[in-house]
Structure 1
Amino acid sequence: MPDTPADVSAQDLVVAIDGPSGSGKSTVARRVAAALGLRYLDTGAMYRAVTWWALEQGVDLADTERVAQLARELPLELGTDPAAPTVAVAGTDIAAAIRTSRISAAVSAIATNLGVRAELVARQQAVAREGGVVIEGRDITTVVAPDAPVRVLLTADERVRLSRRALEVHGSDDETAVDATRDQVVRRDADDATVASFHEAADGVDVVDSSLLSLDETVDAVLKLVEARSGVRA
């Protein structure tokens, strides 16, 4: 960690957060953005939105060219208020629809489509260039915002991540719920790892392991990194 932070204003600050499924990056990123008065961008929601749009139109997700074209045409509207982020396509609110098991089971086919990735990364980079934002997802610290003054890999033990996702999806983290969640988490990470890097920190990326941390402690750890790297305080 540098002895002196970069000279960055809050309005120009970009905080890039990567991490595997269940690492808590969405919740942590929203809390960090709210604490700093920044916008929040959930890049995973963008891939889920393309998935929803393709399925709604009856497009075969294996038709990579057609799906990539859909991504380029996607009339996506993202609200970046961390207190109430929104996702809409062609004016239709799909924030709840993209979190269903139907979308979760299909989104890897979209996330590993290189044509889709190229389009969505370009949109994400446009947001990053505006500054004043916390961006979370996959490849954020290395591809979307490699020059961000604050780059964090948020990780956790696999069993912890499975437990968190089971609680989120099933309301329980007993063995049955964890087993029901395992494929979604482990398979999704394995699929996405073929086109994105989010398990190992690149040079200059700080690691926060939240396995033994509460949500508040994890948020505090990231905020301390933000201050150390950029000088911006909550």
Structure 2
Amino acid sequence: MKNIKMKIEYDGGRYLGWQRLSNSDKTIQGKIENILTNMTGTKVEIIGSGRTDSGTHAKGQIANFKTDSTMAFTDMLDYLNRYLPQDIVVKKLEEVPERFHARYNAVGKTYSYRIWNNTIPSAFERNYSYQYPDKLDIDKMNEACEKLIGTHDFIGFSSLKKSKKSTVRTIDEIKIQREGNIIRFTFTGNGFLHKMVRIIMGTLLDIGAGVMESEYIDTIFKSGVRSQAGETVPAQGLFLEEVYYTK
């Protein structure tokens, strides 16, 4: 039996997230599994590197599935992209060792978040960025990012109420880049809690707009209380860029 690794790109705007749901066919996982099952003639389940929320996009989601199919990978790729909706694209297929697991073997991820920083909305950017009209101080946000980088308990920047699992994560790098009206934030780390990037973004925007000082990051870490952090920004500005694995 082959273990096949997939690289997937999708516009999550009209889907209820990655994870398959029993009461809806509007999930990324569900759509891909249905096509794979039709293609191979046997039920196929795929394992994703992690769940993306409703409305979140991906340029480099990774998943794997196992199959006895003898179909050539080029034919599989053609079949998938012919029958999948146009807003879900399988970019690459490759055979990997039997023990490869897209979620458990992941050692890091990069997410990006896009802000449309203008008082006038954009007809073209509305589905792929969050309009934030207030002036933002990039230097202050960079100061706050320095406090976020490193290994911390990020429970205060998560939607999790309580967790038996560790909420300690390491952020290796945060970049902020302005290109005209777009400000792009890029986060790379060993893993991210539920809604962690979107809550960090809400906090950074408060700091950039002068609502909150960068020192308040320390207070949120110390208290671990979600309500002390900024709002959860909308999902449409969030992209899963890349998932990393050891060689």
TM-score of the two chains, using structure 1 as the length reference = 0.28
Highest RCO, 1 vs 2 (Cα 8 Å, sep ≥ 6): 1
Larger radius of gyration between Structure 1 and Structure 2: 2
Relative to its length, the structure with more strand (as a share) is 2
Relative to its length, the structure with more helix (as a share) is 1
